[in-house]
Amino acid sequence: MDNRRYARASEEARAQEIQLDARRLREFDTFAKFSDSDLTRLVQASHRTSTSGPWPLIREQTPSDACYILLSGEVGVYVGHDRIAVVGPGEVIGESVLRRGALRNATVTTTGRAEVLHIDRDDLNRLLAEIPALREAMDATVARHTSKADTAEPG
């Protein structure tokens, strides 16, 4: 296969993967208000990663530089050695990326096979300006996670 044909095949495969992931996002309530174009732009700006077993996506007390969208599988959320939550597909993880300079307040680890979309802070900031539904989804995620953390703390 010559280089041009290989490049074309690679571009076509990437385009198909983007459309598949955009359709997968459509299945989740978090992304119900997104247009098809918004979902495509979100997926285009992300890097897709698959894990075959437990893998830390986020480590507690490290700089917040990216967020993730869980496409499949589940993740455990840990503060210290205590698991405080398990979340599944469609969840936005790492919303502390919205606070520049913030350190992560939890470790988030896949529990087994998982597929995630990884979005760097700079790409996320650009997307937040371009896609109003993304800001709404991130704000709802922050509110939901803050609410869970408040109820998990001892009274």
Q: Are 18 and 118 in contact (CB under 8 A)?
A: no
The rounded distance, in Å, linking the Cα atoms of 9 and 3 is 10
Enumerate residues 6+ apart whose C-beta is below 8 A from 124. Answer: 45, 66, 67, 97, 98
For domain 3-147, the CATH architecture is: Sandwich (2.60)
Could you read off the pLDDT of 20-62 as tens digits, one per residue? Answer: 999 999 999 999 999 999 999 999 999 999 999 999 999 999 9
What pTM, to 2 d.p., does this model score? Answer: 0.86
